[in-house]
Structure 1
Amino acid sequence: MSIIYGDQNIFLPSHGNYGRYLLDSILKCKDKIALIDGAYDKIITFSDLAQRAVNLTSYLKEQGVKQNDVVALCSENRIEYMITIIGVFSSGATLACINNAYSDDEMTHSLDIAKPKYIFLSPETRDKYNKIIKNRKGIEKIIVFENTNNTNAINFDDIVTKRNVDVKTYKHVDLKGGTALILYSSGTTGLAKGAKITHTNLITSAQQSLPSTRDLITIFVSPWSSTMGLICSLHEIVQGKTIAFLPRFNERQYLNAIQKYKIAILTVAPPVVVILCKSTIAKEYDLSCVEIIHCGGAPLNMSVISELKSKYPHIKHVLQGYGMTEAAGTLTAESEDDCKEGSVGKIVAGNIIKIVDVETRKILGPGQTGEVCVKGAAQFDGYIGKDSKDEFDEDGFYKTGDIAYYDEDGFFYVVDRIKELIKYKAWQVPPSELEDLLLQHPAVKDAAVSARPDVLAGELPTAFIVKQPNANIAERDIVEFIDKKVSPWKRLRGGVIFVKEIPKTSSGKIIRRKLREMLPKLPASKL
């Protein structure tokens, strides 16, 4: 029985500024391509990225923006997004990344808890949220990417292209701690919470990926407002690697970008891997350049990994990782040289993990399943505008709510979320186990499992199924398929519901509360 420690020898520069830390790495790469916009075939070099970011930093300082002032950013993935991120970090202000897919209520909630003074928008998000933003009295300036005729907005290009600050001699703000970033949790159980990520958290996170000697291009499609999308992209930038991205997932556009830019690494959430497995158009593209898939954001089913490797034999590794917003990214990860199928890897630098019994809070040893609790230099600084004391135990460990275990070799295996375990009579049923099995059925394109309330049994496992195009499958077929593969208490006693899509967060996590909301509106099973 023990606590597991990642490497605690983290380099923390005396200036304490994550933006400057990023720029020091970027400037070493000079005219190498930094970003490729795969949707519009646009590029920017590392030197131009640095120049425009520092120009933005200079502008913000001239406007009086200081440490702890909040600057919001709401946009689809685009080159201007990354310029803004680096520029705001470097200025010492706090950046709030808001998901561009939020509903009006979610957008209002995010702005209300962050209280930004400035907000950066794309033309798309300006039009979408214009009324909400205009009604926020605390927002002093609105900066819009691309040219704008709106007299109430400032043109981003004028800020970053019409000045020429000396990037090598520019004096950045020295910081002694402080919040660098507000990242909103995925909100699988309710409105998102704004996690405060410090400069120390981000500098620690940047040192968690082992440097690679191979110069391979990675493509990202996860939104940069998500932890997975943003933190993983910044890891690549710190290492001087070229990254391609798309503003949103489109299957044909994604496959075309892989072929066109000779993408070697896919960093994705599980839904994209499932799409690749089930794709009927992938054969039209040359995807032989792909060597590695990094998958995170939610557990990846073993059956999907097997199917993927069978369909794309040129893929050498499917590497999983486990992380969260509250840990500034990664907790555990696999590498090419140190991996074990089905695991999410070993603990990474800056983290300390213990697995505890859910009821007694006793620390557990190898092979024993319990709640993951974490602390360390990467641990966040609580939630903005919210008392976070109940989120931590008496020893300062953040209680993740995730159920996992580790083996004798130090590899971790995530089982499920405490709140998502289905309680059928005296038994606990992990939804992910049933989802793994459902995805093995050839007529199933996507699947999710949730609980249907029941007076006698407590909860009944219920499947939500997206059929493959033209598939002829009935509820009874799915139920019988699962019956043959599981113990009696894991059967789909709540029935099967066919839906057009599974509700998921941008990072690929199933939003089970939305599944539960659908239950009263749908007919009960006739099993």
Structure 2
Amino acid sequence: MYELSRRASCALRKHGLRKGDVLAIISPNTLDYPIIQLAAMAIGATITAFNPLSTPKEISYLLNDSGARFVILHPFVIKNYEAAENKGVDEKFVFGNVDGYTSISSFYEEDDSTFMVDETIDVKEDVAMMFYSSGTTGLPKGVMLSHRNINSIFGMADVINELHPIFFVGKVCFGLLPFYHIYGSILVLFLRMVTSKKLIIVPRFDPEGFLAAIQKYKIEMLNLVPPLINFLAKSPLVDNFDLSSVSSVFSGGASLSPEVGQLAASRLNLQLIYQGFGMTETTGACHFPPPGKRIDTIGYPLPSMECKIVDSESKKLMGPNEVGELRVRGPNVMLGYWKKPKETSETMDEDGFLRTGDIGYYDDEGLFYLVDRIKELIKYKGYQVAPAELEAILNGHPAVLESAVIGVKNEEAGELPRAIIVKRPNQDVTAEDLITYVNEKVSPQKKLRGGVIFVADVPKLPSGKILRRALREQYGKA
């Protein structure tokens, strides 16, 4: 991989990629993914990556917002890419072979004798990677991560490995989670590389293929999201495969039900399913679970991290077992949001702590727990879905007077987006009409799987802010 990344880096230089440029990848997981990431970062370029199921409109927005001059695509993404307008890309490449696109396979024939790591890279300030995280405004924000941010996660992992070797005992890991997501890229792909693990990479989840791969490759470590753990806990397919090689399972991306976690652990003959806590803004992680503790805790802060619980209204610092907003500070906290200084300043407090937007507390042992989210994001299978984005689409329908979108609890997916609709007078529209209207305009994780409910009015504060808690209480049942 090192040799191939050197060759690819030299090829990208020849094509004009320079320090400070942005290179976008739109692809499912492939073996080439980490090679390109390493190649571009050696130049001092910024890597960004998007969901390969993004719609043409989403691709257009993300490419324009990121300012990507170069893009690498998987063949099945090309149709949506070409349908996207105003892309602003200088050069396009492809994993594989497609007419009109330069194949990255040609990069691997490049002479690497001129390879060099750009010595002017500022590891603290230069952006190595940029992951897009949805916000309550509905438009995804680019989270800027420096080389130092990323390396700090690996340093923290070294300390944890010394304290709790159980987290790193397995030598064969599963590269199932998407590499365009912070969890899959940093905590699975890169962390497993720097800890010298074998990583079995697959492009997408397929129930039987997932189980067959565990059996065939004797996978020992699984990094999963709650819907996949729910699958392990309840699917009858599991009984058809030998999963005895699995020695540890880690959950992230969304909160895992303790009941589901224990069911999965029992089925796999494990003591626990471990879950920590992190955000894109913390380079994927900020808390880790101690071995043998309860599954409902997110654990202790990572080494070198500081955490505090603050009353959101009074700003008072809270003590043990007192509930407030979790705020964190450390070398893994992002540089900020790309081209959004206002949002960046609103996210950081006066002491440089990141406002996580999550409500929680810590106990007398220093273990942290989350009890609710301030933020209004819906979490579907670990993906973030912004209600405002769906509301903007719904409000564009001629029969819709106003709308609100909430998450409906679902054991398999976490939450499903549900629309609460006030129709315009004398307009005839069905729930199916609106579901189709939205689903044709968004990527799969944003579809209105929770359905549509028609109401007389949407409760709001005098300021116009939607009272989502009231809506969830009244319409949030499955």
TM-score exceeds 0.5:
yes
TM-score (norm 2): 0.77
User: In 2, Cα distance between the equivalents of 1:208 and 1:144?
Assistant: 35
Secondary structure, aligned partner of 2:34: helix
Which digits, 9 at most, give the CA deviation of each residue in 1:444-472, with x for residues without a partner? Answer: x5664889989xxxxxxxxxxxxxxxxxx
Matched, 1:231 2:196: no
Query: Structure 1 counterpart of 2:244, which letter?
Result: S
User: In 1, Cα distance between the equivalents of 2:358 and 2:41?
Assistant: 31
1:143 is matched with 93
Which of 140, 147, 169 pairs up with 1:192? 140
Query: Structure 1 counterpart of 2:228, which letter?
Result: V
Matched, 1:329 2:284: yes
Secondary structure, aligned partner of 2:452: helix
Query: Structure 1 counterpart of 2:152, which letter?
Result: T
Contact kept in structure 2, 1:367 and 1:408, CA below 8 Å: yes
Contact kept in structure 1, 2:417 and 2:451, CA below 8 Å: no
Matched, 1:130 2:82: yes
Matched, 1:364 2:314: no
Structure 1 range deviating more: 213-222 or 280-289: 213-222
Matched, 1:385 2:339: yes
What's the offset of the Cα at 1:164?
4.1
Which of 273, 278, 297 pairs up with 2:253? 297
Query: Structure 1 counterpart of 2:210, which letter?
Result: Y
What's the offset of the Cα at 1:96?
1.1
User: In 2, Cα distance between the equivalents of 1:505 and 1:341?
Assistant: 32
2:307 is matched with 353
TM-score (norm 1): 0.70
What's the offset of the Cα at 1:188?
7.0
What's the offset of the Cα at 1:264?
0.8
Query: Structure 2 counterpart of 1:223, which letter?
Result: P
What's the offset of the Cα at 1:142?
0.5
Pairs within 5 Å for 1:231-380: 231-232=186-187, 233-313=189-269, 315-336=270-291, 339-380=293-334
Number of corresponding residues: 401
Secondary structure, aligned partner of 1:225: coil
1:74 is matched with 26
User: In 2, Cα distance between the equivalents of 1:381 and 1:260?
Assistant: 41
Contact kept in structure 2, 1:73 and 1:98, CA below 8 Å: yes
User: In 1, Cα distance between the equivalents of 2:287 and 2:346?
Assistant: 24
Relative distance call for 1:453 and 1:247 in structure 2 (3 A) is closer
2:117 is matched with 172
What's the offset of the Cα at 1:115?
1.0
User: In 2, Cα distance between the equivalents of 1:515 and 1:149?
Assistant: 37
Secondary structure, aligned partner of 1:95: strand
User: In 2, Cα distance between the equivalents of 1:139 and 1:452?
Assistant: 36
Query: Structure 1 counterpart of 2:282, which letter?
Result: A
User: In 2, Cα distance between the equivalents of 1:446 and 1:81?
Assistant: 27
What's the offset of the Cα at 1:208?
2.1
Which of 146, 155, 163 pairs up with 2:103? 155
Contact kept in structure 2, 1:187 and 1:193, CA below 8 Å: yes
Work out the percentage of aligned pairs sharing the same amino acid.
29
Which of 518, 521, 526 pairs up with 2:452? 518
What's the offset of the Cα at 1:335?
4.4
What's the offset of the Cα at 1:60?
2.1
Contact kept in structure 1, 2:136 and 2:375, CA below 8 Å: no
1:202 is matched with 150
User: In 2, Cα distance between the equivalents of 1:248 and 1:120?
Assistant: 18
Which of 177, 181, 188 pairs up with 2:129? 181
Which digits, 9 at most, give the CA deviation of each residue in 1:291-336, with x for residues without a partner? Answer: 11110111111111222133222x2431111000011111001244
User: In 2, Cα distance between the equivalents of 1:517 and 1:191?
Assistant: 22
Pairs within 5 Å for 1:103-118: 103-118=55-70
Relative distance call for 1:249 and 1:521 in structure 2 (3 A) is farther
What's the offset of the Cα at 1:259?
0.4
User: In 1, Cα distance between the equivalents of 2:78 and 2:37?
Assistant: 18
Which digits, 9 at most, give the CA deviation of each residue in 1:463-507, with x for residues without a partner? Answer: xxxxxxxxxxxxxxxxxxxxxxxxxxxxxxxxxxxxxx9xx999x
Contact kept in structure 1, 2:128 and 2:145, CA below 8 Å: yes
What's the offset of the Cα at 1:237?
0.7
User: In 2, Cα distance between the equivalents of 1:218 and 1:190?
Assistant: 34
User: In 2, Cα distance between the equivalents of 1:370 and 1:74?
Assistant: 38
Which of 29, 41, 50 pairs up with 2:2? 50
Relative distance call for 1:446 and 1:196 in structure 2 (3 A) is closer
Which digits, 9 at most, give the CA deviation of each residue in 1:121-141, with x for residues without a partner? Answer: 1111123312327x42x3111
Contact kept in structure 1, 2:92 and 2:102, CA below 8 Å: yes
Relative distance call for 1:421 and 1:370 in structure 2 (3 A) is farther
What's the offset of the Cα at 1:93?
0.3
Query: Structure 2 counterpart of 1:250, which letter?
Result: D
Higher RCO, Cα 8 Å, sep 6+ = 1
Secondary structure, aligned partner of 1:300: coil
Relative distance call for 1:113 and 1:446 in structure 2 (3 A) is closer
Query: Structure 1 counterpart of 2:229, which letter?
Result: V
2:468 is matched with none
Secondary structure, aligned partner of 1:119: strand
What's the offset of the Cα at 1:399?
1.2
User: In 1, Cα distance between the equivalents of 2:58 and 2:322?
Assistant: 38
Relative distance call for 1:394 and 1:144 in structure 2 (3 A) is same
User: In 1, Cα distance between the equivalents of 2:293 and 2:177?
Assistant: 24
Structure 1 range deviating more: 344-353 or 249-258: 344-353
